[in-house]
Structure 1
Amino acid sequence: MTQSPMTQPPTPAPDFDRETAVTRRPGGRSIYDTDLPGAWKVGMGINGGLLLSVAARALSAELGEGPTPHPHPFSISAYYLSTSTAGPATVEVDTLRRGRTVSTASASLCQPGEDGTPVERLRALATFGDLAAQDGDIRTSAKPPHLPAPEECFGTEAAPAEFKAQSPLLDRVDLRLDPACVGWAVGAPSNKGEIRGWFRLPEGRDPDPLLLLLAVDILPPVSFDLGVPGWAPTLELTAHVRAKPAPGWLRVVHSTRNFAGGYLEEDAEVWDSTDRLVAQSRQLARVRLPKK
C-alpha cells in the first residue's frame, strides 16, 4: 500500500499582507471589505501610510485585471477626512479611465459610525500602471542618504515609553533611526527638520510597491526634530512610486522646510538596497502644539 505524502500546512501570509487584505463583494459595484488592524495605531488613529496601502490594495485588485493589467501605484493622492479606528471598513473603487499604459481610479475608505451610518475616512485619486514595463532609463541628480549601518542605529526598543504606549505600530516594523536625528528623544532636537532611518518588516517580507506607500509615512513626525512633540495627523498625502524596490532594507528620509501656524509640509524619499530612489512623497500635516 502506497502511503500518501504528508500535507504541509500552508505558510501564513506576512502580517502586512494579512492586515491590509481586501475582499471584493459580489455584485456590480466595486466594493472591498477589509478590517483595519489596531496593531497599526499611532496617536489617535491608524497610521496614514497603512491606510494608503489598504486603499491601494483595493485599487490594485480592480485595475490589475483585464487585457492591460495595471497593478502598481504610480501616483496616489489621499485626503484624510476623519480619524480611522480599528475594525471593519470598506473601500469603494470607481474606475475613471482605463488606458494602454496607465489607468486612473478613485477609492473611498469608509467605516460605520456610532449610528451605523458610513463615515468616510479617506478619499484617494490614483494612477496605476505596470512598473515592470518601464524602459529602465534613469537620469537623476538625487543622491542616496548616508546612514550608519542598521546595527549602529537606534531601534524601536529605544523609543521613549510614552511614545511606544501611543504607537503600537512600532511592534509591527523594524525601524532603525540615525543617531544624528534622535536628539528630540532626550530633549535636544537638532532643529534641522530632518529624520532619517532604515526600515523593513520584521517577518522578512521583501519590499514591494504597496509597502512603499507605508514607508513614506513610517518615521516619527519630522516636527519632533523641530522641538514640537505630539501627534501630527496627516491631512493630505501624495506619493509617487518610481520603481519596484530591490530586496533588503529601505532607507527613508523625512524633511520639512516650513512649519507655520501649526501646519507643516513633510517630504519623504525612499531608497532601496541598490541606491535606487523608489518612492517620493509630500504630505500636509497638522501639528498639535502643546498647551502652554
Structure 2
Amino acid sequence: MTTAIRSEFDQGIALTRHPEEPGRYDGELGAGWQIGGGVNGGLLLAVAGHALSLEHGDHPDPISISGYYLSASVPGPATVRTEVLRTGRGLSTGTASVSQDGVERLRVIASHGDLATVDGEVRTSAQPPQLPPPDQCIGVEHAPKELITQAALLERFDLRLDPATVGWALGQPSGNGRIQGWFRLADGREPDPLLLLLVADALPPVTFDLGMPGWAPTVELTVHLRARPVPGWLRVTHATRNLAGGYFEEDAEVWDEAGRLVAQSRQLARVPRAQ
C-alpha cells in the first residue's frame, strides 16, 4: 500500500495535540517558508488558524482572523496555545499564541465558522483584477537571484506576476504601489480557507513597486474570508495607498477561478530599511 504524499503546505501547518495540556498543539516551522529574516507571516497565521480550527470542531474555517507579530519566527519547533472565548451557533471565537523556546512570536484572535453553510447572496462593487493569462505573466524562475535568496518560500509557489507590475525587478518601479498576479502551490495542492491565509501574504511587498527593496516585517495582519475557493488558479492583488512614519498598509484581494472574491486582507508593515 502506498502512502499519499502531503503537500508541503500541509506539512508546514501540521500540528499534534498535546496529550496533557488542553488547548496546546506542537508543530515544526520549516526552513522552506522563510522570507527575509524569518518565517513568512501568512504561513504563521495559517498555523494559528489551523490550531483554532481543531479546537472549534464544527466551525473549521476562519471567517475573520487578526494576528500581531511580536518577534521574528525561525525554522524549528513551535508551540501553539489556544483559548476558546465563545462558542456560538454560527461562530466560535478564540485566541492563539505561537511561541518558540518560550518566546512569543504571534498573538491571534479569530472567529471561526463553516463557509460551506454561508448565505450565497453577494452584493459587491469589487471587480477581479484584469490579468494576462498565466502563461503570459512572469514566473518565479525569472525573479532576481537576490530575491530568491531572501525568500525560500517562492520555490513552493507557482506565482505568475502581471508584467505591468514587475518593473521593480528591472530597476524600474512604477511608484504605483501595486503588485498582482496568479497564484497556486507548486506541488498542485488545491486552495482551501487555511491556504488563503498564506496567500494573503504571498506576493512580494508592494514597497518593491515604490522603489524600496528589502524585507518589510509585518506588524499586524487581518484576513476576512468570504467563501471556500474552487480548485484552480487564484488571482491576487496587493496595493498600498499610504506610506508614512516608517509604516505602510498593504491591502490584498484574492479571487478564485469562479470569479468570486474569496478573501480580503489588510496588514500594517514596517518600511524596509535602506539598502
* Pairwise TM-score range, normalised by the shorter structure: over 0.9
Q: Distance in 2 between matches of 1:131 and 1:77?
A: 18
- Which letter does structure 2 place at the counterpart of 1:260? A
Q: Secondary structure at the match of 1:220?
A: coil
Q: Secondary structure at the match of 2:181?
A: strand
- TM-score of the two chains, using structure 2 as the length reference: 0.99
Counterpart residue number, 2:6: 13
- Which letter does structure 2 place at the counterpart of 1:13? R
- Contact 1:23–1:34 under 8 Å retained in 2: yes
Deviations 1:66-94 (A, max 9, x none): xxx10000000000000000000000000
Q: Distance in 2 between matches of 1:82 and 1:28?
A: 24
Identity of aligned residues (%): 61
Counterpart residue number, 1:120: 104
Q: Distance in 1 between matches of 2:7 and 2:42?
A: 17
Q: Secondary structure at the match of 2:10?
A: helix
Q: Secondary structure at the match of 2:251?
A: strand
The answer to whether the aligner puts 1:273 opposite 2:257 as a matched pair is yes
Give the C-alpha shift of residue 28 in structure 1: 4.5
Counterpart residue number, 1:41: 34
Give unmatched runs, 5+ long, in structure 2: none
Q: Distance in 2 between matches of 1:257 and 1:109?
A: 31
- Which letter does structure 1 place at the counterpart of 2:30? P
The answer to whether the aligner puts 1:92 opposite 2:76 as a matched pair is no
Give the C-alpha shift of residue 97 in structure 1: 0.3
- Which letter does structure 2 place at the counterpart of 1:45? G
- Which letter does structure 2 place at the counterpart of 1:190? S
- Contact 1:262–1:289 under 8 Å retained in 2: no
Deviations 1:183-213 (A, max 9, x none): 0011111111100010001111110000000
- Report 1:18-33 matches (<5 A): 18-33=11-26
The answer to whether the aligner puts 1:106 opposite 2:95 as a matched pair is yes
Counterpart residue number, 2:162: 178
Q: Secondary structure at the match of 1:59?
A: helix
Give the C-alpha shift of residue 27 in structure 1: 2.4
Bigger radius of gyration, 1 or 2? 1
Q: Distance in 1 between matches of 2:21 and 2:13?
A: 23
- Report 1:124-203 matches (<5 A): 124-203=108-187
- Which letter does structure 2 place at the counterpart of 1:77? S
Runs of 4 or more, structure 1, over 3 Å off, are: none
Q: Distance in 1 between matches of 2:273 and 2:254?
A: 28
Q: Distance in 2 between matches of 1:121 and 1:72?
A: 22
Q: Distance in 2 between matches of 1:261 and 1:191?
A: 18
Match of 2:192 among 202, 208, 213: 208
Match of 1:230 among 211, 214, 234: 214
Q: Distance in 1 between matches of 2:180 and 2:12?
A: 26
- Contact 1:268–1:282 under 8 Å retained in 2: yes
Q: Distance in 1 between matches of 2:155 and 2:273?
A: 26
Deviations 1:253-275 (A, max 9, x none): 00000011221000000000011
How many residues matched? 275
Deviations 1:147-200 (A, max 9, x none): 001111111111101111111111111101000000001111111110001000
The answer to whether the aligner puts 1:77 opposite 2:70 as a matched pair is no
Q: Secondary structure at the match of 2:103?
A: strand
- TM-score of the two chains, using structure 1 as the length reference: 0.93
Deviations 1:120-150 (A, max 9, x none): 0000000000101112111111101110011
Q: Distance in 1 between matches of 2:149 and 2:20?
A: 42
Match of 1:51 among 30, 44, 55: 44
Q: Secondary structure at the match of 2:180?
A: strand
Give unmatched runs, 5+ long, in structure 1: 1-7, 113-117
- Which letter does structure 1 place at the counterpart of 2:60? P
